[in-house]
Amino acid sequence: MSLRFAFLILATPAVWAQTAPPPRVGVGVIQRPLSLEEAVELALKNNLELEIERTGTAAASQSLQAARGAFDPIFRWQPSVETRNLPVASVLQGPGGKLTENLLAQNFSLLQKLPKYGASFQAGFDNGRQTTTNTFSSLNPVLTSRVVLSFTQPLWRDRAIDRERAALRISRKQIDISETDFELRAIDVVARVEQAYWDLAAARQGVDVAAEGVRWAREQLALTQRMIDSGSLAPVELAASEAELQRRIDTWYSSLGLLTEVENHLKTLLAPDRQDPLWNDEIIPSAARTGEIPATELRAAVAGALAR
């Protein structure tokens, strides 16, 4: 009778399986201890969602810089050189029947749009020099110059707001919105990292508990076998012990699968891409969670949340 039951036990591979966990898919042999502070730091550095928000904030800053360009002063220098050869009917107007005129101009201008009330200011300095072959010209060369100062102030249209000031105001609001979005995203990512970190710690503890249950089930199966061999227990009880061992082994494997899922979720928050070496490591949470309740009064916490 004892040889029969010994053969039944040897025919069940899971009964004699090792308590060491089987290799998990996608997880290497390198164990990486990770504290909560290190996990949060990695998330703030590498998380793709935060990188997208940083890009949005940088784009809003560039839009503001472009909107401010409408109020940059504009300086212009317009030099010109011109030679004219005109046929004339009389040699008195030009020797050889040709009138030659040379013109040289140097014009400068400055345009400044003011940031208030839609006003603008413009200053210009125009000067030119003209020479001619006309013998009846009393001045040769002729020099001309003028200074132009102008100030434009709209009385009704565009006085309260115009396109440039509206674009500047909108760009400033977009920066505030993008910074707020980045802060909210950072808070959300940190909260999810903390949750995933403690989920991983709980999943690892669950695997340890399930492995301990398998060990106790094996000991119970061995005890049942000894009692059957001694005649103090009916042989039918062996099937119940084997079934309980198989159930606990299934629970152990299920907890290992859950551990892998939770660990991968944490890695998606910490690693920038799938090529990062972190994906091949086994993360070991090194922080110990305490049961202390934070000393925060509810109304003060709500007031702080509304203020931020």
The whole-number pLDDT of residue 290 equals 55
Put the strands of the sheet holding 98-113 in their side by side order: 74-87, 98-113, 120-132, 142-152
The secondary element (H helix, E strand) that includes residue 54 is helix 48-68
From the first residue on, what is the mean pLDDT of each consecutive set of 10 residues in the chain (308 residues)?
41 46 73 89 86 87 85 90 83 73 91 84 91 80 90 78 83 89 90 92 91 91 89 86 90 90 91 84 79 72 86
Give the per-residue pLDDT at 24.
Answer: 75
User: Is-contact 79 105, C-beta < 8 A?
Assistant: yes
Q: Which two tokens stand for residue 258?
A: 């859950």
Burial of 78 per CB tally in 10 Å (0-12, 13-18, 19+):
exposed
Tokens of 115: 């940031």
What is the model's pLDDT at position 138? 77
Task: Specify the pLDDT at position 68.
Answer: 84
The secondary structure of residue 80, as a DSSP letter, is E
Q: By C-alpha distance, which of 284, 278, 267, 289 is closest to 33?
A: 284
In whole angstroms, give the CA distance from residue 100 to residue 48: 72
Among 206, 205, 278, smallest CA distance to 32 is for 278
Q: Is the pTM of this model over 0.85?
A: no
**From residue 212, how far is each of 206, 248, 257, 306 by CA, in Å?**
10, 9, 17, 47
pLDDT score at 195: 93
Residue owning tokens 């100030």: 151
pLDDT of residue 13: 43
